[in-house]
Amino acid sequence: MGSLGSLGSEERVAYIQFLGAAGTVTGSKHLVNTGSDASGKTGYQLLIDCGLFQGQKEWRERNWQNLPIAAKEIDAVVLTHAHIDHCGWIPRLVKNGFRGPIYATPATIDLCGILLPDSGHLQEEDAAFYNKHQKSKHTPALPLYTLEEAQACMQYFHPVSVEQIKQLSPGISFRFVRAAHILGSAMVELTLQLNGQGRRLLFTGDVGRVRDQNVAPGKVVRSGPVEGETADIMVMESTYGNREHPTDDPRPQLAKVIRETIQRGGSVIVPAFAVERTQKFLFILKELMESNQVPKVPVYCDSPMAIQAVEIFMKHSEEYSDATRKLLNQYGSPLEWPGFQFALTPDQSKRINESKTPCIIVSSSGMVTGGRIQHHLAQRLPEPRNTVIFIGFQAQGTRGFTIKSGAPDVKIFGEIVPIHAQIVAFEQFSDHADTPELLQWLRTFKSKPGRTYLVHGDPAASSQLRDAMTKELGWNVQVAAWMEKVAV
Ligand SMILES: [Zn+2]
């Protein structure tokens, strides 16, 4: 069911093609093509998300491949949210000739304005590193795109507010609805008029937590994705399709780990994505310090975009959870909190390495795939008094995954770094709904979608979620394959 069958010659054959995040959790890219008409005129080509592949080399190499259609043939991009695995390929798409509009919520555009240039900067750094150490097969190694190219693509972004209906072309419109994943995140409800019939497609992007504060503490944005949905075809994420988040409050254990590390003279290193996860962790840390559960040691928020990220959060108060609102009313902006340092130059960042007194370093990237976290970990992983606290998902093939899985060493900057520090991971801070939460959300649907395709999950997670949805809800669910085309 759903494969491209033969239709009458006068009918348009519309399809979705999964160009990324199929069989893996990164590289989200779904092409909707409304099909050629009887005269042979090409249909509308819409890309939902345009993410970067991250993690294993096999996946990362796909960032260098062209799409099956020319970039300039794509009419528009609609973006669910600002995570790099959903938006990080946009500068490459523009570099390859795309000049159409990119639709996103205002908060997503603000976040992309800092995340995409940062991604370009990391691409340049990587290329420079490989050239210096001549570790690339290609000489010279080139960045996928530069910081400047990433900045230049921001001119194509157009804001669309949540719930606003946006007409893309006659018979094609979409609406963003709340995803409750990160600041600015939204699902895309796409409505197509095809061969005289209305078709409704729902692209979930990443689905946020269903439950609230106690089991998803520190959530900066409101939890609870939109309820009462329906669709002819749904394309849904499955990151946590085979897992459940713990339901206990992580704060007492987190406080204990930090306290014990400081008591033995060690420092705490927290790899965290600079946007959302870092703010969430800072809010929790502030609460723990103010309630004297954690000593007030210096906190370094060491990411080049940390200040901008906080400023964007302060600007979009419409999305706050009640807890965030309360905390900000009480303590003001994190940028003003005593003992929290944000404005770090690269030199200041490196000087933290010389500090022998306990401190807490929150730095990116969250999966240790690049950024300043690398030199903090290279410095502090070999010492048993230190602790690394993971508060986010670690994709297979990333350094974060290696460290978290208990490896004796990890390669950073081309050197083998022994791991003697304590390694702790908390799963409660996830911004993704887990399996029970996804099923809980799906039960709110007004009717079963005709077909559901699962994307954005490791194969085991996607297939287990498919089985759960089939068995518990009786839905027609398939796991999407990379480059697969399915009829709309
Ligand atoms: Zn996401």
CA of 430 from ligand 1 middle (Å) equals 10
CA of 448 from ligand 1 middle (Å) equals 25
Q: Which of 381, 288, 386 is nearest to 337 (CA)?
A: 288
Strand order in the sheet with 45-48: 157-159, 102-104, 76-78, 45-48, 29-33, 15-20, 485-487
According to the model, what pLDDT value does residue 60 have? 86
CA of 81 from ligand 1 middle (Å) equals 7
According to the model, what pLDDT value does residue 397 have? 84
CA of 80 from ligand 1 middle (Å) equals 9
According to the model, what pLDDT value does residue 2 have? 47
CA of 312 from ligand 1 middle (Å) equals 17
CA of 86 from ligand 1 middle (Å) equals 7
Query: Which two structure tokens, joined as six digits, stand for 329?
Result: 């009313």
* pTM of the predicted model as reported, rounded to 2 decimal places: 0.88
CA of 181 from ligand 1 middle (Å) equals 7
Residues around the ion ligand 1 (C-beta < 5 A): 83, 206
Query: Which two structure tokens, joined as six digits, stand for 213?
Result: 């504060």
Strand order in the sheet with 172-178: 165-169, 172-178, 186-194, 197-203, 233-237, 451-455, 477-479
Query: Which two structure tokens, joined as six digits, stand for 183?
Result: 């600041």
CA of 209 from ligand 1 middle (Å) equals 12
CA distances from 185 to 193, 205, 208, 260, 427 (A): 26, 8, 9, 37, 21
CA of 40 from ligand 1 middle (Å) equals 37
414's CB contacts (< 8 A; 6+ apart) are: 129, 133, 135
C-alpha–C-alpha distance, residues 310 and 334, integer Å: 7
CA of 462 from ligand 1 middle (Å) equals 16
According to the model, what pLDDT value does residue 46 have? 97
CA of 108 from ligand 1 middle (Å) equals 11
CA of 432 from ligand 1 middle (Å) equals 8
Query: Which two structure tokens, joined as six digits, stand for 70?
Result: 């020319």
Confirm if 50 and 87 have CB atoms less than 8 A apart.
Answer: yes
CA of 263 from ligand 1 middle (Å) equals 36
**Tens-digit pLDDT string for the chain (488 aa):** 444 544 444 567 899 999 998 888 889 999 999 987 777 677 899 999 999 998 778 888 899 999 999 999 999 999 999 999 999 999 999 999 999 999 999 999 999 999 999 999 989 988 888 888 766 566 788 999 999 999 999 999 999 999 999 999 999 999 999 999 999 999 999 999 988 889 999 999 999 988 665 555 556 677 788 999 999 999 999 999 998 988 888 999 999 999 999 999 999 999 998 888 898 899 999 999 999 999 999 999 998 788 899 999 999 988 888 888 888 899 999 999 999 998 778 898 988 988 889 999 999 889 998 889 999 999 999 999 999 999 988 888 899 999 999 999 999 999 999 999 999 999 888 889 999 999 999 999 999 999 999 999 989 999 999 999 999 999 999 999 999 999 99
According to the model, what pLDDT value does residue 133 have? 77
CA of 452 from ligand 1 middle (Å) equals 19
Question: How crowded is residue 108: how many other Cβ atoms within 10 Å of its Cβ?
Answer: 29
Q: Which residue has the tokens 């799906």?
A: 442
CA of 279 from ligand 1 middle (Å) equals 15
CA of 404 from ligand 1 middle (Å) equals 20
